[in-house]
Amino acid sequence: MPSGDVFEIQLDMKVFFGLILLLVGLNAEEIEGYATVGMVSHHFGTQDSGERYNGNHDAYGAEMVYDKRFTLAYLHFVNSRDKDTDIVVAGYRYDIYKGLGIYGVVGYQKGYCFDGLKSVECTEGKDNDGFAFLPMLYYRHDYFTIDLITQGTMVALKLNIKLF
């Protein structure tokens, strides 16, 4: 019987090779890769303390799109309350008209607290990680995508440059 560390390594290798086999089976022409190079936002109001929200998020990340619809993405940014935030999501893009569409993502986030679909200041004793769901609009061009994110009291634009 292998020890815990050896068993974990064997399991990790099985998952790794399983992912390689899955990717080999996909048609490479259907996979697109994007780099997130920036995100800006505007808030319709101020924080409870009266301070303005952060509007420049120093965002960077990566997004893989399969068959122009299914996505896997990672994004790191400084949130509106100046806290580092990481989010890993899977999503679905639905084209409505010539590159315009609806985009929904669901996944795991760390650095934000949520109350429904709205981000809120984390309170004492409240964990700042967990489930994330974000509905968006998007515009897709041959060389980039722009995601429009809104939560009622803010609007944000995220720019993704196509790599392949």
Q: What are 121-140's pLDDT values in tens digits?
A: 666 666 677 788 889 999 99
The structure tokens listed for 75 are 């994004």
The yes-or-no verdict on residue 11 having pLDDT over 60 is no
- The whole-chain average pLDDT of the chain stands at 81
pTM: 0.74
Q: What are 32-78's pLDDT values in tens digits?
A: 999 999 998 888 777 777 777 777 778 899 999 998 999 999 999 88
- Bin 68: left if φ > 0, else alpha if -120 < ψ < 50, else beta: left
Amino acid at 90: A
Topology annotation, domain 29-162: Porin (2.40.160)
The percent of residues above 90 in pLDDT, for the chain, comes to 37
Lowest-pLDDT range of 12-16, 123-127, 139-143:
12-16
Round to whole Å and give the CA distance between 122 and 83: 10
